[in-house]
Amino acid sequence: MKRTITLQFILIVIITVISTLALAIMAFYRSFTDEIRDDLKSYAGVVMSAGVFASDKIISADNMRVTMTDSAGVVIYDTDSATGRDFSGRPEIGEAMDKGEGFSVSHIKHDNKNMFYYTRKIEDGNILRIGKRTDSRLNMLYNSIPQIVFIVLFMAAASSVLAYFLTKTLIKPLEGMAEDINAGKEVNVYKELEPFAEMIKQQHEDILKNANMRQEFTANVSHELKTPLTSISGYAELIENGMATEADGVRFAGEIHKSSKRLLTLIDDIIRLSELDVMDRNVDIEDVDIYDIAYNCVSMLQLSAERHNVTIEMSGKRNTVHANKEMMEELVYNLCDNAIRYNKAGGTVNVSVDSVVDENGQNRVILDVKDTGIGISKEHQERIFERFYRVDKSRSKSTGGTGLGLAIVKHIVAQHHISMELESEKGRGTEIKVIF
Ligand code: ADP
């Protein structure tokens, strides 16, 4: 970037210098022409007022050509050529015949010079012509090439030094920005770059947060897997060493079975979460009847509810939502399963699907899972959607919980751009609403 800015800067300076020089030469040549014309005019005045031309003794000066023609343009006298030649075709002679005065510039190819002519008609009808030879435009440019080259080189060198420092000051805030963002400091850059800096800073923080979350998750996963594996390994070792009686053997096998089942559920949930992470965008969305899904889920959980001495009921009416069917089944299942597992003996779970018109006049479908269970105190309410967060770890474990159910629910809700509301009171119950 620095290199590009410096090179562009130098290029701009060189182009500016060259075009300024070209313009200056053109302007100079123009005023030079005007000056010569004035010179020739006053010289003609001198010649005429001296009256010398009448006596054929025309005064001449260096570099000057003086010509006298008769009124028809035939040369009577010329410092540079013979008399008798017809000059009536020359533009400056014609102009003097017509207007009394004329001016012309002609290029002499063989020595690359210009010839300036001024003509004037005098009293007796004769025409006086004064000529002056000068360098041509090209020649003048050619003669000033050393100066031009010097100026261009000087300017290029000066602009290189200037460009170097200018680029350095220009880039400095950007370099500072990169350093500050890495150091997590408040960035101080050009006003125009503030949104950009803010965005990068935000992304940087997100990346850090994500990395931290992943690290924490990996640590948690290892820890969660370790507990059942340690138990499996311990019981197996006892059996292997012949330290278990026959009755123990059956009990130990039961423990091993329970821990393996726990391992499998944990692994299932972990795989599910990482699947949800990966398929962030590519999910099949279709019209699904959320009442149907909830109804099937309630039927499926009847047995589990009976085992927990909980009544589960379904109410509401058919409602279609735009969603992924499998994910909706998972969402409803996790919410109902929790409502049963964190309930009290003799408690109830009410699942309903309804539609309401919101303040913007839009029809909204609401899935509501309400229980009369143990409830969640305020300080835990925000955290229960985090991975592996459990209010009461032993209760969660003893009912087959992994601490990932609500994290999966949260993920599904975010993916469907729908919202979720939690209302809970410790000891009284919990209500979770999913609003489509
Ligand atoms: P788990 O597998 O432990 O149930 P979840 O992610 O489903 O994990 O829930 C996280 C925690 O939130 C649970 O351990 C529990 O403490 C609390 N929780 C979830 N649902 C309810 C509920 N309906 N009533 C009371 N507590 C709940």
Residues 364-374: tens digit of each pLDDT: 999 999 999 99
C-beta separation of 196 from 181 below 8 A: no
Give me ligand 1 centre to Cα 26, in Å.
88
- Closest Cα to atom 7 of ligand 1: 405
The pLDDT of residue 184: 59
Percent of the chain with pLDDT over 70: 93
| Cα-based angle 294, 398, 426 (whole degrees, multiple of 5) | 70
CA 214 to chain centre: 28
Cα 172 to Cα 130, 169, 176, 187: the distances in Å are 66, 5, 6, 13
Residue 88 tokens read as 């009536």
- Closest Cα to atom 3 of ligand 1: 403
The pLDDT of residue 407: 94
For the chain, the average pLDDT equals: 87
- Closest Cα to atom 14 of ligand 1: 390
Using most ligand atoms within 8 A of CB, pick from 384, 404, 422 the residue to mutate for ligand 1: 384
Give me ligand 1 centre to Cα 393, in Å.
10
Give me ligand 1 centre to Cα 295, in Å.
22
The pLDDT of residue 213: 87
- Closest Cα to atom 8 of ligand 1: 403
Instruction: From the CA of 397, give the closest atom in ligand 1.
Output: 3
Cα 225 to Cα 262, 408, 414: the distances in Å are 9, 18, 27
What residues contact 80, with CB distance under 8 A and at least 6 apart?
65, 67, 131
pTM greater than 0.85: no
Pairing of strands 311-316, 348-357: parallel
Give me ligand 1 centre to Cα 319, in Å.
27
Give me ligand 1 centre to Cα 315, in Å.
23
- Closest Cα to atom 11 of ligand 1: 390
* Mean pLDDT in residue range 151-165: 85
The pLDDT of residue 186: 64
Residues 294-353: tens digit of each pLDDT: 999 999 999 999 999 999 999 999 999 999 999 999 999 999 999 999 999 999 999 999
Q: Which of 92, 87, 90, 88 is nearest to 102 (CA)?
A: 92
Using most ligand atoms within 8 A of CB, pick from 390, 411, 431 the residue to mutate for ligand 1: 390
Rounded Cα gap, residues 399 and 161, in angstroms: 76
Give me ligand 1 centre to Cα 375, in Å.
9
Residues framing ligand 1 (Cβ under 6 A): 334, 338-339, 342, 371, 373-376, 384, 389-392, 396, 401-407, 430
Q: What is the DSSP string of 219-271?
A: HHHHHHHHHHHHHHHHHHHHHHTT---HHHHHHHHHHHHHHHHHHHHHHHHHH
DSSP-derived secondary structure letter, 184: T
Give me ligand 1 centre to Cα 156, in Å.
73
- Closest Cα to atom 23 of ligand 1: 339
C-beta separation of 413 from 432 below 8 A: no
Residues 110-125: tens digit of each pLDDT: 777 888 999 999 888 8
The pLDDT of residue 55: 42
Give me ligand 1 centre to Cα 220, in Å.
17
C-beta separation of 304 from 338 below 8 A: no
Residue 222 tokens read as 């290892």
What residues contact 206, with CB distance under 8 A and at least 6 apart?
none
- Closest Cα to atom 2 of ligand 1: 401
Pairing of strands 429-435, 363-371: antiparallel
C-beta separation of 189 from 195 below 8 A: no
Residues 224-281: tens digit of each pLDDT: 999 999 999 999 999 999 888 888 889 999 999 999 999 999 999 999 988 888 876 6
Cα 87 to Cα 84, 90, 114: the distances in Å are 9, 6, 18
What is the torsional sign of CA 407, 412, 413, 415? positive
Burial 160-173 (b: 16+ CB within 10 A, else e): eeebeeebeebeee
| Helix ranges, 241-350 (H) | 246-278, 290-307, 325-341
